[in-house]
């Protein structure tokens, strides 16, 4: 699901509207980690307790959704890599979290959400803009690839 939001830049004063959306790895719960790309405005929620037995089942059940989103494919590869190179039931979050990037813009994902994280101004390119609020729901599953469809 995508949402429209308004943004403004503290540096150059630019105001604009854009879309933000959410992706998910594992079942959502209140302790899920929140990551965010400040350039593309995509969020990824990651379950805090991924383990090597239930994660492959979640993957199998959600494969279609993952195939559609490069950011999920990238994170799944990292998690599988960490799972293959660690022992114990839980897949250690820190071992892959620091390596997560946004494949669209190559930035490292930041810990946070659009509500509490500075975003990149689409005019001056400095990371000094912020969301001034979500104002609409947009019936798009993903914004990724939108440019190709227009």
Closest contact distance (angstroms) between CB of 33 and Zn ion is: 17
Identify the three-state secondary structure at position 82.
helix
Q: Which residues bind Zn ion (CB under 5 A)?
A: 9, 11-12, 14, 37, 39-40, 102, 104-105, 121, 123-124
Closest contact distance (angstroms) between CB of 86 and Zn ion is: 27
The C-alpha atoms of residue 25 and residue 61 are separated, in whole angstroms, by 12
Closest contact distance (angstroms) between CB of 102 and Zn ion is: 3
Q: Of the two residues 71 and 83, which places its CB atom closer to Zn ion in the complex?
A: 71
What Å distances lie between residue 27 and 2, 74, 145, CA to CA?
19, 18, 25
The C-alpha atoms of residue 121 and residue 74 are separated, in whole angstroms, by 25
Q: Of the two residues 14 and 93, which places its CB atom closer to Zn ion in the complex?
A: 14
């Amino acid at each position: 699901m995508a949402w429209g939001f308004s943004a403004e830049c503290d540096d150059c004063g630019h105001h604009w509207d854009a879309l933000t959306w959410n992706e998910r790895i594992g079942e959502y719960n209140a302790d899920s980690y929140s990551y965010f790309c400040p350039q593309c405005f995509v969020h990824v929620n990651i379950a805090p307790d991924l383990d090597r037995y239930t994660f492959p089942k979640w993957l199998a059940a959600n494969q279609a959704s993952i195939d559609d989103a490069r950011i999920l494919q990238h994170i799944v590869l990292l998690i599988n890599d960490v799972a293959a190179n660690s022992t114990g039931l839980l897949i250690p979050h820190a071992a892959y979290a620091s390596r997560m990037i946004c494949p669209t813009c190559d930035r490292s994902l930041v810990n946070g959400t659009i509500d509490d994280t500075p975003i990149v101004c689409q005019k001056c390119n400095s990371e000094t803009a912020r969301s001034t609020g979500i104002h609409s729901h947009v019936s798009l599953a993903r914004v990724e690839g939108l440019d190709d469809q227009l």
